[in-house]
Each structure stands twice: as C-alpha cells, then as structure tokens.
Amino acid sequence: MLLEIVRSTGLSHLSYFLGDGNEAAVIDPRRDYDIYLDIATREGLRITRIFETHRNEDYVIGSQALASATGAEIYHGRAIGFGYGNSVGDEDSFDFGNVRLRVLETPGHTFESISIALYDQAFGDDAVAVFTGDTLFIGDVGRADFFPDRAHEVAGLLYDSIFQKILPLGDQAILYPAHGAGSVCGSGMASREFSTLGYERRLNPRLQLDRDAFITSKVNEHHYYIPYFKRMEQLNQEGAGEFNALPRPRALTADQLAEHQKVGGLVLDTRDPEAIAGSFIPGSFAIPLHMVPAFAGWYLPYDRDIALLLRRDDEVEQAVRLLVRLGYDRISGFLAGGMMAWQTSGRHYDDVTAVHVDTLLKRINSGADYTLLDVRSLNEFKQGHLPDAQPIYVGELAERITEVSKTRPVTTFCGSGQRAIIAAALLKQHGIEQVEICLGSMQACKAVGCSVINEQAA
Amino acid sequence: MLLEIVRSTGLSHLSYFLGDGNEAAVIDPRRDYDIYLDIATREGLRITRIFETHRNEDYVIGSQALASATGAEIYHGRAIGFGYGNSVGDEDSFDFGNVRLRVLETPGHTFESISIALYDQAFGDDAVAVFTGDTLFIGDVGRADFFPDRAHEVAGLLYDSIFQKILPLGDQAILYPAHGAGSVCGSGMASREFSTLGYERRLNPRLQLDRDAFITSKVNEHHYYIPYFKRMEQLNQEGAGEFNALPRPRALTADQLAEHQKVGGLVLDTRDPEAIAGSFIPGSFAIPLHMVPAFAGWYLPYDRDIALLLRRDDEVEQAVRLLVRLGYDRISGFLAGGMMAWQTSGRHYDDVTAVHVDTLLKRINSGADYTLLDVRSLNEFKQGHLPDAQPIYVGELAERITEVSKTRPVTTFCGSGQRAIIAAALLKQHGIEQVEICLGSMQACKAVGCSVINEQAA
Amino acid sequence: MLLEIVRSTGLSHLSYFLGDGNEAAVIDPRRDYDIYLDIATREGLRITRIFETHRNEDYVIGSQALASATGAEIYHGRAIGFGYGNSVGDEDSFDFGNVRLRVLETPGHTFESISIALYDQAFGDDAVAVFTGDTLFIGDVGRADFFPDRAHEVAGLLYDSIFQKILPLGDQAILYPAHGAGSVCGSGMASREFSTLGYERRLNPRLQLDRDAFITSKVNEHHYYIPYFKRMEQLNQEGAGEFNALPRPRALTADQLAEHQKVGGLVLDTRDPEAIAGSFIPGSFAIPLHMVPAFAGWYLPYDRDIALLLRRDDEVEQAVRLLVRLGYDRISGFLAGGMMAWQTSGRHYDDVTAVHVDTLLKRINSGADYTLLDVRSLNEFKQGHLPDAQPIYVGELAERITEVSKTRPVTTFCGSGQRAIIAAALLKQHGIEQVEICLGSMQACKAVGCSVINEQAA
Amino acid sequence: MLLEIVRSTGLSHLSYFLGDGNEAAVIDPRRDYDIYLDIATREGLRITRIFETHRNEDYVIGSQALASATGAEIYHGRAIGFGYGNSVGDEDSFDFGNVRLRVLETPGHTFESISIALYDQAFGDDAVAVFTGDTLFIGDVGRADFFPDRAHEVAGLLYDSIFQKILPLGDQAILYPAHGAGSVCGSGMASREFSTLGYERRLNPRLQLDRDAFITSKVNEHHYYIPYFKRMEQLNQEGAGEFNALPRPRALTADQLAEHQKVGGLVLDTRDPEAIAGSFIPGSFAIPLHMVPAFAGWYLPYDRDIALLLRRDDEVEQAVRLLVRLGYDRISGFLAGGMMAWQTSGRHYDDVTAVHVDTLLKRINSGADYTLLDVRSLNEFKQGHLPDAQPIYVGELAERITEVSKTRPVTTFCGSGQRAIIAAALLKQHGIEQVEICLGSMQACKAVGCSVINEQAA
C-alpha cells in the first residue's frame, strides 16, 4: 500500500496518491496533474478513482482533467449539485488491493464536504488513517465562514462532523488533511505535516472547547474572502474541464514587454523584495514567487495577458504552474534576461528605498510626518503593531487606495517585508510616488525589541 | 550565436536549433518538439522560423506542431506542393542577429531538397557552415533511389547539387547534415558528427568519383524502401498537424495485457535479445528498444493498439517518443512489472535457445540439417556470410515467410544478434516452433576467426 | 517541523531526517550519506545530531562518515561499548526548534537498542511519534534471535520494551521503525509505511499475545543469520570511519572482463532472471539488482574485486550504492555495452532453460528423474511446496552444494523466479551442468492452481 | 568517434572529451572533474590520456585529480619543467580507435604551449580538427603579454605557430580552442563556438596582418594580469594534486553569519545587481554569480573562510564549483533563507540607490558635484565614455581606492551595471558612504543615444 503526499506550495494544498494491488486513487488532485501520472507509471498502477473532499474554493481542481487522461471515475459529496462526477455518502465504500476507503459525510466547512476513512483489509477493522479535506487540520479546524447567513448552523455542523464522525474513528487513525500550514483555508495550523486523531483530540486547541464555545469562537473568527474564490467555486462545481498542457510563455525583449504593457498586458514581477525595491518596471505588479498562490487571486485580473519578470529565466515553469492552479492561463511571455534586459534597454525603471526598523523607531520618536502603512491582516495587526501605524490589509489595498494619503511619504510594513513589497508596487501603480519599504518589518522589530501595541491584550 | 544539435537516436536524425539576437530558427524539427521550446526558454530566445530541408520520408516532421506552439513561419523547397508553409528558393535569405541563412536549391535526394548556408555577418562573406539535409552526409551522400524511373536524372542532380551548389561554399564551411551514422537515409557515413566541406571534398569516397562514375555508383546502389515511408511522405507533404502531448500508456496487469492481445492489440517487446530469448510472451513483436526507430516501420501496423513490454518500466516515455516520431500514436499500455508479471501470472511464455557461433561451425562441418537464416541486408550478406546461410532481410521476413522451411530447425543470424531476435520472434509468430538464435552472430564469427564467403570479392 | 523518510531499497532500511528551527537530526543514517546533506542544503538546516537506534547488523551505518562531514554528535545506547560517539539512556532528551527527542531504552532486539520519542513543544506533552529502530515494526516486532543462549531473556526484554516503554506513549503516537516490509530484520511486516501505536496495539498480531505466548513464539521463530552480519556488527561497534566518495567503476571491454576473472576478480550479474537465463558469463554470480542488498552478504567475498554486468550501463551508480551499504568497496569495473559486448567478442556464454510450471506438474505426474530444488526459506517451504521438492535455502546453497545430485538435471524453484536464478548460477559455478529454472515459480503455481503440500497444516 | 565539449561558464573555458573504440582522452580538464567520469560511464569508455595545451593561468587544471581517479597518463609541452606528467613534442602522436592525435609545438601564448591535431584514421591524412589551446581562438589569437621582457619575441612565436604549424593543417580542419567569448585570455572572440582554420584564415582580423603588423599589434595590446594568475601558474606547474569532493558549505543563520564575519570570514554576495543595490550586508563582497570566475581572482583572498549569500539556496553547488575552479576551497557556509534571513534578524543592512542614465545626463549638463566612476577596462573606456567620468578598472579599484574622492557622492558605471555593483560594494567596504549605481550603464546610454567621448577616434 503506497501513499504519496503531493504538495502544492504556496497554497499549502495537500493531495494524496494512494495505490495498492494494481490500482490507485487520487484525493483532491491539482490541475497540473502530470505528477499523478508520473507516480502511476513509476509504480505500475492505474488510477481508477478520484475523490474530491469538497468543492474547493482556493484552486482549480484537476479532477476532470485527470479523469480524462486516465479514465478514472470522480466522486464527491452529494449536498450540492455538481456538473460532473458521482455523488457519494455515508453508505459508500471503495475497495482495491487491501485498501478500503469509506466515505463520511462531514459538512461544516461546506455542506457537501466529505472525509474518507482508510482501512487496511490485511489487518482489521480500525481505520489506519482519514482524509479530512478542509474539515480538520493539524492543530486547527476548517473555516466556517462561507455561509454568513447560517454562521451558527455551519459552525455546529463542523463541530458535529469532527466529534461524531471523524474522532470516533479512533485515536490510532492518522490525519491527512487537504492543507498544511500557510493555507488561506485555516490559521494556526501546525508546521508539522503528521498527526493523528488521538493527538488532535488531546492537543488541538480547537477541540478542547465544548460545542457552544466552539461555535462562538468560529462565528467570531475573521477570514478574508479572496475575490478569485468565486471563480474557483464556479469552475469546481460546473467542472473545470480538461487541461492539456502547461502554457509555454515566450521569451520577450524589453521592447516586446513594453509593447505588451502598451496594449493592455500586465507585468507580474516575482523577484525577491529587495530586488524589486532595487529596480522595477513602472506599472508592474509585484508578488515574490512563493507568494503568488496566496496573493495573485486578490487583484490579478483574468482577462489580461500576463508577462512574467523572474529572478531567473528557469523559474518560468514554476511560475506558470502556480498561476494555472488558480486558473490563470493567459501567460504569454517572460522578460528574457530578467531585469538587466530592461535596464540595458535604456527604459525607465523605478525603485523603493529600504528603511530599517531602527529608522522607523526614530521617526516615531521624532513625530515625523509620514504614513506607516501596515498591510498585515487584521488579526496580525491586533496582536501587535507599531504606534500610529495605519492598517490596510494588502489584499484590500487596491480597493481602499483612497484611504492612503497621497501627500505624505508612505512606508509599507508587514511581517517580514514580503507583503510590504506587494503593497509598495500597488501604491506606485496608483500614483503614490514617495514609497519606502521596511525590509524585515515586524520580525526585525521583534528581533531588536520594539515595543508594540497589542489590542487583544488590551 | 548559439547552435545546438538535437539528436534523435535510432533514426540518427539531426535537427538544429540556431539562435542569435533574440530569435531562433529550427531546422528539421522532430515531432515531439518540447526540446526546442526548452532550449528557447533556457536561452531566452523566440523561435520565429522553421526550415525543412526536404519532405522527410523516415519520420513525421514536427514543423506544424512547433509552428502552432510558437507562431513561427515554416519554409521548404518549392519543387513540390506542400499543404502548409512557405516555399523558398535560391534567391531567399533570412537574417536575425548576426545570422544570415541563405537557401540553396539542391535537388537529388528529392526534387524539393534545399540546403541552407550559414553566414556570420559579424565576420564576413564566407559561409561558416551549411545545413545539407539528406544531400551530403559526413562520409557519404544521400540516397537517390526514390524515383526509380528517373534514376540517372536524380543521381546527376545530386552530383550537381553537391559540386555546383554546396562545395563552392568553400572548404572552410562546417557540414551539418540531417542524419548521422546509422540512418536508413544513407550508408557508409562516418561515426563522427563533425566535418567540413573541405574535409569531405578531399576524403569523402563518393566525392572522389567523376560525374559519370558517381551516377553509375548511385544507380547501382541497393536500398530498402521501408513500408512506412509512404505514410511519412504523405503526412509530411500534406502537413502532420499539431501534436499536443505525448501519449501516456497505462499500467497493465498480465491479465489486462492478455485481454489486450485477445481483442486485437499487439505487444511490442523492447527488451534485450538475451532477455527475450530467455522468456517472451507468445505472439509478441520483438524489437530491442534502440532498434525501434529503424525496424518498427517495416511491419508494425498503424491500426492496432500497442502495448509495451520494457526492460524497465521507466523506459515508457523513451519508447513512446521513438514510436510517435514514426507516427505511432496508439500506445495504450505497458506491462507493469515487466516480464516477471507475466511469468508469475502462470501464463505461458516461450523461449529461444541461444547458440554460440562455435556450435554453428560444428554444424556446418557435420552437415547438420537445419536452416541458418541470415537476416542482414543484401549488402552485408554479400560482403561475407557463412556457408549455406539463407539470406532474407529482416525487414522482408514477414512477407517472405513462406521461403523459410517449416520442417527444419531455424537459427537466426545477423550482425550482432539484435536483428536476429526480431527475426526469431517473427518466425515464432508465423508458427515456426524450432527457432534458435546466434547471439553475437557475425561479430562473434569474426572474433573467433570464422572463414566466410565474400561474394563481392569473387 | 520537517520529517523526511529516506528509504534504502532492498534492505527496506528507513532512516529519518528531522529538522526544525535551524537544526536537524538524522536517525540511523546510511553509509552513502550525501542525501542527508542534500536535504539539509535544500532546507537551510544544519545537521547537529545523529542517533543510532542500535548497532545495526545488516548494513554499515553512516554515522561517523556523516558526523565527519557535518560536525554533528553521534548518540547510541549504552548497553555495549562503542568505539565512537556518545552513550545515552532514559534520562536523556534533546531539544531544537519545537522538537524534543526523548530517549527510551528498549532492549530486546539487541541489548543497547533505544527508541526515540518525538514531542512537538508547540503543542504539548503527548508524543507525536516514536522512532522504534528494530524493536517494533508495522505489523511485526523485531528479531530476538541474536543471543541464542539467552533466547527467553531477550524475548522477554523485547516484550517489556514494547509494552512498558513504547506503547505507554499513547495510541496517538505515529510509528517510525527502522525497516519496512522486505527486510531481513523481521517478517510479516505490513506493506504499508504508516501506522500508529494505537493501530499496532489493536491489530499487530504479535501484540495480541500475552507475555508468555509472545516469548514462546519468538523463541520458536526461525531466522537466517547472514554471514556478513558479523562484519557489519564489528564495523558498526568499532566505527566504520569516513566515507569520502562512491567508487567509480571503470568501463571494461569483454577482454578486460575476462582478464579480471582470470586474475581472481568476480563478476556480479544483476540483470533480470530471464536475461541471465538467456545468456550469461560462465563463472559469474547472479543477483537481480533489487535483490543485491538481501543476498550479496550470503556469499560475495569481501577480498575480491567485483566487476558488474548490468541491465543498462546507467545502473552503475545504483549498483555501487547497494554494495557499499553492505561494505563492498572493491568495485573495479563494469562491462561496457552489457551482455552484447560479451556475445560479440566471441567468448563463450552459458544459458539456463526456462521451464513453465505446467511442465513441472507433468514431470511430477510422470515421475521424471530430476531434482526440483526449492531454494525458498524453510518457513516458506513448510507453508506449501510441490511434491518431491528438495529444500535448500538459496543462502545456504553454496555450503550445502554436495547435497545436490550431480547426476540428475536440476530445476531451481523459489517464490517468483528471482532467487531461483541466483541458485541456478551457483549450481553452474559448482560444476552442475544440467540446470533449468522455473520462472514464475510458486506464484505461477498458485495462479494455475497447483496442489501443494503444506507441512504446517499437517 | 565521440567529441563532447565541456564548457565552464564565466571562464569561458572549453575542455574536450574525445572517445573512440573503448578509450577516451580529455583535453584541458577542469578541477571538478566528475563530468568527465559521467560521460565515460555513459559512453562505456575508459579515460586513458589527459592533454594540457599549456600551463593554464586562469584556472586550476584537473589533470592530476582526473588521472588519480582514472589511471590516465598526463601529457604537456616540454618547454618548461612540470612537477608531474609527461612531456611531448612535435614527434609525438597517440592512437586509439580511429583517432590519431598529433602534437604540434605552438609557443607564443606560453613557451610550452602545444596544439593537438585530430585525424580520423578511417578516412585519411588530412586533419579533421585541431585543439589550439590559447594559441588560436575563434576570431582572435591568444594573449602574448605574459613575458613583457620578451614581448616581440613571443608575439613572433605566436605568429609563427599559427602560420607555420596550425594553418598548414588545411582549411578543412575544425578549430577547437580552449576558450570562447568572454574569457580573460583573449578579446574580440566570436560569440560563435564553431569555426575552421579556413574560416579563420580568411576572416579572423588578426590573421589578415603581416608578421610585423601582427607583432606590433600584439605588443601594443593591453591586458590585465589578474593577481590570482600567479597562484594558478604555480599550482598548474607543480601539480594541483587530487580533488576528492566538492566542499559542502553549511547552512548558516544570520547570527552565525555575523559571527563568521566577526572572526575574520568574508561574505561573498552573488545576487543580481539590483538585489544587492536594494539591500546588502555591510562589509560583504559583491559579485553577481556568473561573474565570479572573472572577478573573484582580483581581490578575494585565499586565506579567509568564505560564506555565500545567494539568489536562491539551490545555487550553492554552482557557486562552489565556480570558486573551486579558481582554487578557493575554504567555502564554509551559506546564509540559509537568503537576504530575508538577514533582514528579519533585525541586523543592519545597507543599500545603493539606482540612478538612471537620464539622471546622469542631467547632472552632466548641470555640472553637479559628484564622481562618475567608470570601472570598465581601459580599452572599453577609450572606445567611448561619458564626459568627466573617472576611469578606474574594477579589478584595480581596491588598490587604487585612494584615487576616489571621499567627500563627493560616487556613482559607479560600467557596461551594463554588473561590474558597477562590484565596485559599489568595494567603495562601501572602504568607507565611502554616498554611493549610487547606474543600472544599465553604457548599454542604456547607447540605447537612449548619449553622446560619448571616443578617445580612439580622436
């Protein structure tokens, strides 16, 4: 019995390839599905079943594409109507080799969410593991904020699914969720990728609450709903269709990139913050590569051609994979030779000055007239921020741009400097000229021992 | 100026990626064209032009597929009508970066054959190299047997193309032909992949003949016309169309493979001769992997599904690439776990006993009653064979099977044992039961000092 | 917290790379330790600690080599004296990042065996996992046959270690043993690589016995003690020293290989059974590549140079890795071009005829005069064998060769044909000429429905 | 006959692997010689001979290391005494397979320089190629400035070697030199890697001069002698010894890197110019990765430990290879997590403001008080520079640092911005605080149409 975890970084999405005998099942496949075929070929297995733990909202699921390539059947929960595949429920189970997969209906995160218990028929009747989708994570539970009108109801469903369906499988069952730490689908997850129901039952902070406290805590949680979720939900319910091959963006000269911009194409700069700060192309969007999955969906439009500016040209495929998982297929080119190609073309570039946190502290003490724009999430902000910082979450910055003073210099600030560069580029796009960035941001603050304002403690 | 040679083994097909400035040209691209995109991405170049030196007969050219992926223009000779691309002639040249490519019409191998001279505009007006297609090879010249009614004419055209068009480019020009040693498109090629016009002018044996002697020698040559050539010619003239992705054959169990055979699918066994001899699946075709490009086109039908039996499961992709280059797309599966999966299934297997050349010599001396079937080409046979050997070229064995005695044991024999295993499997397919193979064959003969009959010396 | 499982196939050895914060620990490193450095570099971690769960007997541990490359400290149990490293016991624990590793003394398999419990300090005081070395496996427990004079004592220690030290960590703890299915260090392991203490407590058949029954069953077990174990134990206790780089065997011609044999070098043929059966080099040892770890130590001497004969030349590095893990460093060459190079050299080769199980059944019915040599283990033989089969375990065949009749034909037989080819080559080495092999062997028997004699059922 | 070109980027060093029959020769191997063993294994060849075209001055030759790994013999010219290997001269030739290698004594670049003519014995007596070391390049000839006291003599020797030894091999011979474009061993080389003696005879500008003009032009050339050359010459004459394995630098935290600096270690920052400009570690050396081979030898000391700061952690091995080729073995660590690890540690970083060339032009027009420091070579400077630029070659900047005003702002300037960042970091190291960089530099100038001062035209 082979179980291989396939990680999609950035989204922290975990999919699973489970094989035995001559067959295999894939749980929550990603859209660029070649990796599952590679495993199947290597192991001499045939993929015959695909399971979706729920209608995912944060990426395009690859079920239809993978089914088309393999002839496999697709299975998902029956609480909503899907435009493809088969609906299953508590009474369903699937056997191959020594594997038995048993469906558990576990609504809460969404109504059609299912979990899948895994049994090894060579041993016995206790579950050896359970795939919990977005219902139960390592150290956390799933979001339950997608149905604000029925907030209490779904929080209660989530509690019941965990306590009446999942935990009863036994302490011995290993936990395989659909996301690891860093996902937008939960917070407070462990950095660890391995746990069991027993461990979670005893030590997951969420599971120490009684039903009412659990519901209250879930109802009071704050999560961001990223605009592209809507598109993902629709695609994943109707069916995203086949996916033939990764787009192959073409090499562009600086002239061609400029022309691309001129005719409405956008430039996505995925370099590191200090490189962007050192020199960037006016008008470009900036998202350091590993943050593309988490932030592209906030503001990258689907109806414009994308040209990439990369740390190294050989990152093209990786960038393309990150984008197609979110449904961005119009990736037409990349600037060959990177930023130097732009610089040597004589075209104008812009920069953002880096400001050390010590300088911020001096400014605070001296009452300097500038905006310290803290682009972290509301939760992070409340847990500790610098005095006089203005909070606007990076994801909402574009739509709340008018809240930023255009007459004062702005210094962007976040956890480490990564989101701050996204924000800095957005400010520049919107005509704010005097922009600085605090590289290191709150982590540097803590390292040097800033005093911060904690609104939660208050 | 970057020049990268892309080799397709087995066919000994050489294609070329030539880049400078921000552009690149590809000469005679293969069908699985991903490698050209990889080079283009790595080098930051855009493929804008594709050249075909002629309507190739031994593989499916990837021009349309690559053009579709890149937007490049296709160029070929104008002596025949193509269903796609642009016709060019002596007056045409193409510049990018410091590159100048100048077209030379060089009929002979085919009427529409062109060569392409390469100039480095940074240096001067002498050609630095020439791409000669199938007109001039290293140590040989192209076949001129495709128009038997006009044999003298095309041989003369070939001579004139070489002496009036190509050699006048100067001794200094490097020679880049479309095939290296081992191709079915010529014989007597050097094992070396580098030469110049000057070197060939002085040392290529073909070029030491005068025009009449050249024509006579070409007219008297014997070449095999492999049946699949017809299909290739048609595809390459009409246009082979796009090529989206490599087929991904599915893992098969022994039962599934047997079912595949039962419903008309064929099994292609690409293991080494001694492994096939040791144990093989009844009814299967045997072609050691590296010989697939040279021999599949002789008798593998295009209208049956192919299942593969490999040395190792991880050779699937390589086998698929070799087959799709010949236009075989119906590759539906591979036996997972290899021959052992068949053996442990309890199904019957067959074998072929290996016979050392010393045993053959003893049989010859003792006048044993058996057939020594020499499956090498006519040319090879005439240059030296064992006494009483029966010559039938491996490619023609299926259609000449009635010439083989069914009542006597048969020992297959070739140059080294590779073609002999192809023949052995064919004999078994056609109901000849007592089959042996001489592993080592003529090379072993020579090593132990057999006396052979040389019909050419006579 | 990163946990990466490093598998050494064939030995089914599992080692573990555990990182958090900026540090990492490695548990039971293998001798070719480059993979741990690769992970450390990729993850930006420094390896600071190496743990040995016990003095391993089946491979050369890479602790000293890895420590030399990294500066890490080595830790092992204190019940025996080691020539290197630090001794630890129940009172010891080690923290880095959120990791806490706590030592448990768990004698039984060996006296100095330890297990290591893993805690995530970010969560709490329950173990999240435990590394059990050869004490507790998934579906089985470790061997306890290394101290035959104290058989009851060590079996009892093993029981107590499991029930008083390991299981009390709780059902929630994930189980990470030092071996997976296929190891010589246990039998009856699950094919699965994931389990928990809770799952084992409920379903591991060994753990369902009471202490006395457990001891009785362990004392009555039969295990083979492979001759090379002695060398491994000595090296691993005294310290195996540094390991600079993998040997790089040189390409050999057939002539050079023959010379190698002539001066006392041995040839190890790692091809598949049917390829060896089809044609092999007289005098060579035959072990299909994946079986090298399990069988080389039975009879390959350490004081002779080894030349390899491979399926493909590109398997050289893999073969070298498998051998150096067992302490074989004198790997001087490989036959370039494989078996064909030998065949075409004109040198003699031998073969072994394949016999289908149906033929065996006919022979049994007809009372044919031949030896059916069953080279499976005693346990396997007792669970079911063909009538009149002579049992000699493949590992003991060389020393018991006189038990095999030299006057009758011999057909070798095992589980699938893999060990049967090892045996066939040994018989040939020892002058037995009429050797056949049953490819498929017992698995084929079962597939076709042979009737077998089960001595255990009797 | 296999010829594989092995490129060492940055040095533009070309070494050659030439195989035929069962043997191979390597010409001018690099120190990290594993690639030659990989080719030999893949091709089934044994490396038996190593040729050095001369005592190289720009890298550590890997001859002794490779000979130790393979048992090959080393051959070099006899005009100087080497501490290892065999001396050869015009009368020597070496045969294997169809290869014949014939030695030509070709002094000039150095006294012991040899070239090696390649013949294919299957064809005839004309050279098919020649390996010319640093004597003749594509589009240029070798440096002849290493013996300033005998400048005319060695220039004459170089001329005679080319015209009396090399060119007489014939126009048809392919040219395989030891360096391609970008090397410090010549200038004006073609960007192309393929040429012939005939092409060079006609179009290489150097070969169009008569002997006297050639000598005059060579004597008047200006080349830089990089300080590390002295060490390379000594190692390569005495013998550099074995080379066991690449150093494996350890992952460092920001704290560990700071400690490394404190105890005398140096930091080498190999990121791109704009990333370094955006934020860098005070005190570090800056050399963009691909420029390490060309510039490290100017000022990186051999007696200090080196820690690396990389674009991405996975560039460690590449950086190590570039450094060990120059003899830098003390590479002890790399900053794990890159620059962000430093930024989030709260430690101070520095930056360099990017200045567009338009700003420079405005400053020139307005007579701004600042230093425009042009760090290109003297030749480049003379061919065109901005008004009032101060020329100091980047290689000499450290020792001529007192020539730079400490009281005025300094803007560094070069061809594209790459060398300008090296210079900027050096200025910062030497206490000059107000440093800016012109990204794009002269290439951007030309693109926007600056007017430049050309001292050669004057």
Model-wide pTM > 0.90: yes
- In A, which residues are within 8 Å of C129 by CB distance? 194
A203 reaches C (C-beta below 8 A): yes
Q: Say which of C354, C447, C448 has its CB closest to residue B279.
A: C354
Measure A175 CA to nearest chain C CA, in Å. Answer: 10
Task: Write the DSSP symbol of residue B401.
Answer: G
Alpha carbon A169 to its chain centroid, in Å, reads 29
- 3-state class of C239 per DSSP? coil
Helices D316-325 and D292-299, packing angle to 10 deg:
60
B9 reaches D (C-beta below 8 A): no
B191 reaches D (C-beta below 8 A): yes
C40 reaches D (C-beta below 8 A): yes
- 3-state class of B338 per DSSP? coil
Average pLDDT of the residues of chain C? 95
CA angle C344, C345, C346 (to 5 degrees): 90
Contact C440 B338 (CB under 8 A): no
What is the DSSP pairing of strand C331-335 with strand C250-252?
A: parallel
Alpha-carbon distance values, B334 to B136, B253, B255, D280 (Å): 39, 9, 12, 54
Q: C 395-434 residues with CB below 8 A of D?
A: none
Q: What is the predicted ipTM? A: 0.95
- 3-state class of D232 per DSSP? helix
- In B, which residues are within 8 Å of C344 by CB distance? 416-417, 440-441, 443-444, 447
Contact C1 A197 (CB under 8 A): no
Contact D313 C250 (CB under 8 A): no
Residue type, D9: T
D440 reaches A (C-beta below 8 A): yes
Structure tokens at C142: 């470790």
Q: B 56-75 residues with CB below 8 A of A?
A: 69-71
Contact A444 D358 (CB under 8 A): no
A363, A287 contact by CB (below 8 A): no
Contact D251 C45 (CB under 8 A): yes
- Residue D456 confidence class, pLDDT cut points 50, 70, 90: confident
B117, B102 contact by CB (below 8 A): yes
What is the Cα–Cα distance from C154 to C157, expressed in whole angstroms?
A: 5
A43 reaches C (C-beta below 8 A): no
pLDDT at B10: 85
Q: How many residues appear in chain B?
A: 458
C265, C341 contact by CB (below 8 A): no
A309, A270 contact by CB (below 8 A): yes
Q: Is the dihedral of CA A178, A181, A183, A187 positive or negative?
A: positive
- Residue C458 confidence class, pLDDT cut points 50, 70, 90: very low
Q: Say which of D271, D344, D447 has its CB closest to residue A447.
A: D344
Task: Write the DSSP symbol of residue A26.
Answer: E
Half-sphere exposure at residue B173, Cβ-oriented, CA atoms within 13 angstroms: 26
- In C, which residues are within 8 Å of D37 by CB distance? 248
Contact D70 C250 (CB under 8 A): yes
- In C, which residues are within 8 Å of B447 by CB distance? 344-347
A76, A156 contact by CB (below 8 A): no
Q: D 118-137 residues with CB below 8 A of B?
A: 120, 122-124, 126, 128-129
Q: Exposed/middle/buried for A421, CB within 10 Å: 0-12, 13-18, 19+? A: buried
D312 reaches C (C-beta below 8 A): no
Q: Exposed/middle/buried for D149, CB within 10 Å: 0-12, 13-18, 19+? A: exposed
B242 reaches C (C-beta below 8 A): no
Contact B439 C343 (CB under 8 A): yes
Mutation target among D18, D172, D191 for the B interface, most CBs of B within 10 A = D172
With CA atoms as reference, the chain D residue closest to B97 would be D191
Mutation target among D435, D439, D450 for the A interface, most CBs of A within 10 A = D439
D104, D117 contact by CB (below 8 A): yes
Per residue of chain B (458 residues), give pLDDT as tens.
999 999 998 889 999 999 999 999 999 999 999 999 999 999 999 999 999 999 999 999 999 999 999 999 999 999 999 999 999 999 999 999 999 999 999 999 999 999 999 999 999 999 999 999 999 999 999 999 999 999 999 999 999 999 999 999 999 999 999 998 877 666 678 889 999 999 999 999 999 999 999 999 999 999 999 999 999 999 999 999 999 889 999 999 999 999 999 999 999 999 999 999 999 999 999 999 999 999 999 999 999 999 999 999 999 999 999 999 999 999 999 999 999 999 999 999 999 999 999 999 999 999 889 999 999 999 999 999 999 999 999 999 999 999 999 999 999 999 999 999 999 999 999 999 999 999 999 999 999 999 899 987 54
With CA atoms as reference, the chain B residue closest to C436 would be B278
A44 reaches C (C-beta below 8 A): no
- Residue D138 confidence class, pLDDT cut points 50, 70, 90: very high
- In D, which residues are within 8 Å of C245 by CB distance? 244-245
A354 reaches D (C-beta below 8 A): yes
- In A, which residues are within 8 Å of D445 by CB distance? 346
D44 reaches C (C-beta below 8 A): yes
pLDDT at A336: 97
With CA atoms as reference, the chain B residue closest to C441 would be B344
C250 reaches D (C-beta below 8 A): yes
Longest dimension (CA), chain C: 72
Contact A349 D439 (CB under 8 A): yes
B353, C447 contact by CB (below 8 A): no
Q: Say which of A42, A244, A316 has its CB closest to residue B313.
A: A42
Q: Say which of A37, A40, A251 has its CB closest to residue B40.
A: A251
A80, A113 contact by CB (below 8 A): no
Task: Write the DSSP symbol of residue C128.
Answer: S
Residue B382: partners with Cβ closer than 8 Å, 6 or more residues away:
B454, B455, B456
With CA atoms as reference, the chain A residue closest to C199 would be A172
Q: Say which of B41, B44, B244 has its CB closest to residue A337.
A: B44
Contact B174 D193 (CB under 8 A): no
B244 reaches D (C-beta below 8 A): no
What is the Cα–Cα distance from A114 to C215, expressed in whole angstroms?
A: 44
Q: Say which of A278, A357, A440 has its CB closest to residue D278.
A: A278
Average pLDDT of the residues of chain D? 95
Q: Please name the residue that has the structure tokens 């002496």.
A: B163
What is the Cα–Cα distance from C381 to C394, expressed in whole angstroms?
A: 12
What is the DSSP pairing of strand C23-27 with strand C13-20?
A: antiparallel
Q: What is the pLDDT of residues C65-122, one digit of tens each?
A: 999 999 999 999 999 999 999 999 999 999 999 999 999 999 999 999 999 999 999 9
- In D, which residues are within 8 Å of C341 by CB distance? 44
What is the Cα–Cα distance from D399 to D422, expressed in whole angstroms?
A: 14
Give the pLDDT mean for C221-247.
94
Using CA atoms of C79, C84, C88, C93 in order, give the dihedral in degrees to the nearest 10: -160
pLDDT at B185: 65
- In B, which residues are within 8 Å of D126 by CB distance? 198-199, 202-203
Q: Say which of C312, C340, C354 has its CB closest to residue B278.
A: C354
Q: What is the pLDDT of residues D432-445, one digit of tens each?
A: 999 999 999 999 99
Contact B274 C345 (CB under 8 A): no
Q: What is the pLDDT of residues C175-232, one digit of tens each?
A: 999 998 877 666 678 889 999 999 999 999 999 999 999 999 999 999 999 999 999 9
Contact A172 C199 (CB under 8 A): yes
Mutation target among D41, D310, D335 for the C interface, most CBs of C within 10 A = D41
Q: Say which of B123, B171, B190 has its CB closest to residue D122.
A: B190
CB atoms within 10 A of CB B371: 23
Helices then strands, counting H and E runs in chain D, come out as: 15, 23
Alpha-carbon distance values, B2 to C355, D77, D454 (Å): 57, 33, 31
Is residue D458 pLDDT above 50, yes or no?
no
Q: What is the pLDDT of residues C363-393, one digit of tens each?
A: 999 988 999 999 999 999 999 999 999 999 9
pLDDT, averaged per 10 consecutive residues of chain A (458 residues), comes to: 94 96 97 97 97 96 97 97 97 98 98 98 96 97 95 98 98 96 73 96 97 97 94 96 92 97 98 98 97 95 97 96 97 97 97 96 91 96 95 96 95 97 98 96 95 78
CB atoms within 10 A of CB B226: 19
D170 reaches A (C-beta below 8 A): no
